[in-house]
Structure 1
Amino acid sequence: MAEQLRRILEEHPGRYVSGEEIGRRLGASRAAVWKQVQTLRRRGFGIEGARGAGYRLLGRPDLIEKQELFSRLPDASMWKSFHVFPVTDSTNSRAVHLAEAGAPHGTVLCADSQTAGRGRLGSRWESPPGVNLYLSLLLRPPFEPPMAPRLTLVAAVALASTVEEATGLPVFLKWPNDLFLGGRKTAGILAEMSSDLDRLRHVVIGVGLNVNAEAADFPEELRRTATSLRGETGRSFPRVELLSRFLVRFEEAYQRFLAGGLAPLLPEWNRRCLLSGKRVLLRRRDREERGTAIRVDEEGALLFLPEGGRGRERIHSGEILEFER
């Protein structure tokens, strides 16, 4: 009932809603309404009551709570199990442990902060508390292991759609796993899998999205290359709202991927591709080389034209160290 009351108050930002109307919509007595107001206040919501006027919402904590997250998702959602941590070492590490213990497909892990957040190739993901999204999705897909790395691109398309809807700004994707806003990195994706020779056991997709971080929240060496949604728009975003939107968009993209592979999603990736037609410095295995990035293909590979006259190559794994701005 507290979640229903929260939604009623959020429908009228800054304005009073009479106790009579709230009671009618909740099917509850005035005493029961008062009890739910107290419940929300204990959770950190600022609710003002005035005799003869009712209640109004003055402020809310930017917390991610399982109950509110559930209430924002469709009833038929694939997301059925949630784990929310005030602090953890790494949501991906936690997800792997849960997967090995038998946690189901559609498990979501989220943390307010991480002490050992990870990016690709062993890099560290800065994870200050209270401002960003750090989450992992545990999936048990019904396909063979070679398909699993393409889920990084599926997640990127879903996250790009989420950010564009929230900010109204164009998002660009840097193969294979980064999101850019305003020319700076805003999010990263890390996919890990466990498999037998011909069977996937599980895939864990980690997402770090800079939401409300300010310049002072980034290490000095990242302040020129990293940004956040708040940094680009000048306003704050409720993290639980972004998380629920992303889960809905990911489920939509995942179902399209199961039905048709990457082909249905490629136009959305390639129209946002940050690298198309640009000269880049590519690192793969133990060497680096320059060339031109063309686009991403149906298998998630980067089509790459090396300098020096060799023909076009398909790069399945690598890192873009530099690219034309």
Structure 2
Amino acid sequence: MEHLIKSEIVKLLIENSTGYISGEEMSRQVGCSRAAIWKHIEELRQAGYEIEARPRHGYRLKYRPDRLAPEEIHPHLQTERFGREMEYICFTPSTQIIAHKRAKDGAPEGTVVVAEEQAEGRGRMGRVWYSPPKTGIWMSLILRPPIPLAEASHLTILASVGVREAIQKETGLDVQIKWPNDLLINGKKVCGILTELRGEYDQIHYVITGIGMNVNVSESDFPVELRKIGTSLAIETGRTIHRASLLATILKELEQTYFIYLQEGFSAIREKWEQGAAMLGKIITARTAQGSVTGVAERINEQGALLIRTSTGIVPVYSAEIDLPEN
């Protein structure tokens, strides 16, 4: 409840940023006392907002810090479920760890854990995801899909489709999907998606979809060894991206894609995925635990496996590292 009041106050301040809004009017619109308004204004100031108070005029917003707090995201949110419950953390080892705890405690589907900085952000196969403070979107989304355990791989595919569409709508950039979980711009990784689940006996208890995205990371922010393979939205667009509105768009597109999947099945999602896939029709090498497979990437099947056409026939690959040809 507290963060919802704060969200409404920020929304009112933004809507009236060219003038003042009185504490009395805020109290009336938000539905709390003027003393509560004053308390939340002070908390916002402590969080970095510059809010001018003028006798007989009210409050005016002079500066908003770049934050992913609920009060910044909710004014932009256009979802039914995703992001309506949100936990915001300045620093954490990993949003995945916290999301697992919240899911076990019964957090509703659509709950989001978002952090300004991660010390131990994770990618596939336990790799570390570089997560510098206040430059990206480091988040985890709790899902409770009514699907069999065998179809859980669909969720990574649909997440990559939803996030791709959100980035393209917010930036106009051409984003390509690299199977199974990376988003690329001009051949460089801008976002990784990690799906973890808990279930038993063909029943999914919950799924955690982790998203790590380089938003306002500058080239100098990247370690030297990552500069040739990593990029950010700011690098590619040449401008700073408003992270809160981007995150709201990501949640909207993810929710829409998720609902389409639940209503229409995997085929509708697979078609969108193939439209954005970076490797289809190209000769690639898939490095699996059983060895390497080289051939033409054809498509993905109903289980989400990548089908590779080799000299001896079609080989389905369920888990691998993909080496793409040089552009």
Which residue number in structure 1 is paired with residue 65 of structure 2? 61
1:89 and 1:292 map into 2 onto residues whose CA distance is: 39
2:292 and 2:139 map into 1 onto residues whose CA distance is: 32
Which residue number in structure 1 is paired with residue 212 of structure 2? 208
The within-5 A match list for 1:218-229 is 218-229=222-233
- Alignment pair present for 1:88 and 2:92: yes
Which residue number in structure 2 is paired with residue 255 of structure 1? 259
- Alignment pair present for 1:128 and 2:128: no
Which residue number in structure 2 is paired with residue 153 of structure 1? 157
Which residue number in structure 1 is paired with residue 171 of structure 2? 167
- For the 8 Å contact 1:171–1:272, the answer to whether it is kept is yes
Post-superposition offset of 1:238? 2.3
1:51 and 1:235 map into 2 onto residues whose CA distance is: 38
1:5 and 1:90 map into 2 onto residues whose CA distance is: 30
Gaps of 5+ in 1: none
Which residue number in structure 1 is paired with residue 275 of structure 2? 271
Post-superposition offset of 1:175? 0.6
Post-superposition offset of 1:9? 4.9
Larger displacement relative to structure 2 (98-107 or 173-182): 98-107
Residues 66-93 of structure 1: CA deviation (Å, up to 9, x unaligned): 3443443347324443222211111112
- For the 8 Å contact 1:4–1:26, the answer to whether it is kept is no
Post-superposition offset of 1:247? 1.2
- For the 8 Å contact 1:9–1:17, the answer to whether it is kept is no
3-state DSSP of counterpart to 1:252: helix
Post-superposition offset of 1:37? 5.9
- Alignment pair present for 1:7 and 2:11: yes
3-state DSSP of counterpart to 2:254: helix
Residues 88-125 of structure 1: CA deviation (Å, up to 9, x unaligned): 11111222233333333222111111111111112110
Q: Which amino acid aligns with 1:178?
A: D
2:114 and 2:293 map into 1 onto residues whose CA distance is: 38
- For the 8 Å contact 2:70–2:86, the answer to whether it is kept is yes
Instruction: State how many pairs are aligned.
Output: 318
2:206 and 2:185 map into 1 onto residues whose CA distance is: 31
Larger displacement relative to structure 2 (3-12 or 180-189): 3-12
Which residue number in structure 2 is paired with residue 319 of structure 1? 321
2:312 to 306, 310, 313: 310
Q: Which amino acid aligns with 1:86?
A: C
Q: Which amino acid aligns with 2:312?
A: R
Q: Which amino acid aligns with 1:253?
A: T
Q: Which amino acid aligns with 2:103?
A: A
Taking a change above 3 Å as real, the CA distance of residues 272 and 245 of structure 1, as seen in their structure-2 partners, is same
- For the 8 Å contact 1:186–1:228, the answer to whether it is kept is yes
2:175 and 2:79 map into 1 onto residues whose CA distance is: 29
- For the 8 Å contact 1:73–1:248, the answer to whether it is kept is yes
Q: Which amino acid aligns with 1:249?
A: E
3-state DSSP of counterpart to 1:251: helix
- For the 8 Å contact 1:91–1:114, the answer to whether it is kept is yes
Taking a change above 3 Å as real, the CA distance of residues 32 and 180 of structure 1, as seen in their structure-2 partners, is same
- Alignment pair present for 1:293 and 2:297: yes
3-state DSSP of counterpart to 1:248: helix
2:45 and 2:202 map into 1 onto residues whose CA distance is: 52
1:12 and 1:295 map into 2 onto residues whose CA distance is: 51
Question: TM-score by structure 2 length?
Answer: 0.86
Larger displacement relative to structure 2 (110-119 or 65-74): 65-74
Which residue number in structure 1 is paired with residue 200 of structure 2? 196
Question: TM-score by structure 1 length?
Answer: 0.87
Residues 173-220 of structure 1: CA deviation (Å, up to 9, x unaligned): 001100011221000001111221221121111110101111122111
Taking a change above 3 Å as real, the CA distance of residues 212 and 295 of structure 1, as seen in their structure-2 partners, is same
Post-superposition offset of 1:240? 1.9
3-state DSSP of counterpart to 2:150: helix
Q: Which amino acid aligns with 1:17?
A: G
2:12 and 2:106 map into 1 onto residues whose CA distance is: 38
Post-superposition offset of 1:224? 1.1
Post-superposition offset of 1:126? 0.6
1:6 and 1:268 map into 2 onto residues whose CA distance is: 36
The within-5 A match list for 1:37-56 is 40-47=44-51
3-state DSSP of counterpart to 2:220: helix
Identity of aligned residues (%): 35
Which residue number in structure 1 is paired with residue 221 of structure 2? 217
- For the 8 Å contact 1:133–1:209, the answer to whether it is kept is yes
